[in-house]
Chains A and B, each alone.
Chain A
Amino acid sequence: MERLSGYRGELRRALEEEGINIGDLISVRSRGFEYRGILMPRSELEDEWHIVLKLKSGYNIGVAYRPGETVIRRLGEAEKPHFRPPPPPVSKEGLPRVSIISTGGTIASRVDYFSGRVYPAISASDLYSVVPELSEIAVIRSEILYSVFSEDLTPEHWSGMARRVAEEIEGDVDGVVITHGTDTMGYSAAALSFALQELPVPVILVGSQRSSDRPSSDAALNLIGAVTAAARAPFAEVVVGMHRTTSDTEIAFHRGTKVRKCHTSARWAFQSVNTEPLALYRKGRIEMILKDYRRRDPERQLVLRDRFEERVALVKFHPGFDPELIDWLVDRGYRGIVLEGTGLGHVAQRCFKSVGRAVEEGLIVAMTSQCIWGRVHMKVYRNGIMLLRLGVIPMEDMLPETALVKLMWALGQTEDREEAVRLLRKNIAHEFSPRTLYQPWGGVQR
Chain B
Amino acid sequence: MTLDYKALGLRVGLEIHQELATSHKLFCACPPRLFREEAEYTFLRRLRPTQSELGEVDPAALFEFQQGKAILYEASRETDCLVEMDEEPPGPLNPEAVDICLTVALMIGSRPVDEIHVMRKTVIDGSNTTGFQRTCVVALGGEVYVEGKRIGIEQICLEEDAARKTGESGVLHRYRIDRLGIPLIEISTEPVIQSPEEARKVALAIGQILRATGRVRRGLGTIRQDINISIEGGALIEIKGVQQLDLVSKIVKYEVQRQVALLEIRDELQRRGVRREELREEFIDVTEVFQGTRCRVLRSSIKKGRRVYALRLPRFAGLLGRELCPGRRLGTEMADRAKFWGRVSGLFHTDELPGYGITPKEVAELRSAVGAGEEDAVVITSGEPQRCVDALRAVLERAAEALEGVPSETRGPNPDGTTHYMRPRPGAARMYPETDVVPIPITPERLERIRSALPEMPEERLSRLMREFHLNRKLATQLIDSDYLDLFESICRETKVAPSLVAVTLTETLKSLGREGVKVETLDDETLKQVFISLDRGLMVKESIPDVLSWLANHPGSTTKDAVKALGLELLQEEELWEIVRGKVRENEELVRRMGLRAVGPLMGAVMREVRGRARAEVVRSLVERALKEFLGK
Contacts and interface: CB of A to CB of B under 8 A. Distances in A.
A111 B114 contact: no
B220 interface: no
Interface string B417-431: 000000000001111
A61 B433 CA distance: 10
Given A59-B117, A59-B431, A81-B54, A214 B441 contact: no
A85 B55 contact: yes
A265 B87 contact: yes
B53 A61 contact: no
B131 A214 contact: yes
B131 A82 contact: no
Interface in A179-226: 209-210, 213-217, 220-221
A216 B113 contact: no
Given A55-B137, A266-B82, A216 B130 contact: yes
Interface in B95-120: 111, 113-117, 119-120
A64 B48 contact: no
Interface string B149-175: 000001101000000000000000000
Given A62-B114, A83-B53, A215-B50, A57 B429 contact: yes
Contact of B48 (A47, A110, A220): A220
Interface size class of B (residues with CB under 8 A): 35 or more
B85 interface: yes
Nearest to B137: A59
B435 A84 contact: no
Interface string A114-128: 101000000000000
Nearest to B86: A216
Interface stretch (A240-248, A286-294, A378-386, A435-443): A240-248
Contact of B117 (A61, A84, A110, A247): A61
Contact of B441 (A47, A82, A209): A47
- Interface SS of chain A: helix, strand, loop or mixed? loop
A249 B48 CA distance: 14
Given A59-B117, A64-B114, A81-B53, A246 B85 contact: yes
Contacts of B116: 61-62
Greatest chain A CB density within 10 A among B53, B119, B120, B137 is at B53
B86 A59 contact: no
Contacts of A210: 86-87
B29 interface: no
A63 B47 contact: no
Interface in A412-446: 446
* Candidate in B54, B87, B120 with the most chain A CB atoms within 10 angstroms: B87
B441 A215 contact: no
B54 A61 contact: no
B48 to A, nearest CB: 5
Given A58-B429, A63-B114, A111 B155 contact: no
A215 B130 contact: yes
Interface in B505-524: none
B46 A248 contact: yes
Contacts of B135: 59
A60 interface: yes
Contacts of B131: 214-216
A267 interface: yes
A52 interface: yes
A274 interface: no
B87 A215 contact: no
A84 B54 contact: yes
A437 B429 CA distance: 53
A390 to B, nearest CB: 44
A320 interface: no
A58, A84, A114, A246 pick with most chain B CB within 10 angstroms: A246
A349 B338 CA distance: 78
A153 B116 CA distance: 36
A50 interface: yes
Nearest to A217: B48
Interface in A276-318: none
B132 interface: yes
B452 interface: no
Given A59-B117, A59-B431, A60-B433, A247 B43 contact: yes
B115 A62 contact: yes
Nearest to B114: A64
B441 A62 contact: yes
Interface string B15-49: 00000000000000000000000000101111111
Contacts of A61: 113-117, 137, 140
B51 interface: yes
A46 interface: yes
B119 A58 contact: yes
Interface in B36-76: 41, 43-55, 57, 70
Contact of B115 (A33, A63, A216, A246): A63
A216 B119 contact: no
A58 B428 contact: yes
B454 interface: no
A130 interface: yes
B435 A116 contact: yes
21 contacts: A43-B439, A57-B154, A58-B121, A59-B136, A61-B115, A61-B116, A81-B54, A84-B55, A86-B55, A86-B57, A113-B52, A113-B430, A213-B50, A214-B120, A216-B48, A216-B86, A216-B131, A220-B48, A248-B70, A264-B88, A446-B41
Interface of B: 41, 43-55, 57, 70, 82, 85-89, 111, 113-117, 119-122, 124, 129-132, 135-137, 140, 154-155, 157, 428-433, 435, 438-439, 441
Interface of A: 33, 35, 43, 45-47, 50, 52, 55, 57-64, 81-86, 110-114, 116, 129-130, 209-210, 213-217, 220-221, 245-249, 264-267, 446
Closest 3 CB pairs of A and B: A62-B115, A215-B131, A64-B114
Given A61-B140, A215-B131, 8 more contacts: A46-B439, A50-B441, A57-B154, A59-B155, A63-B113, A110-B50, A215-B48, A265-B82
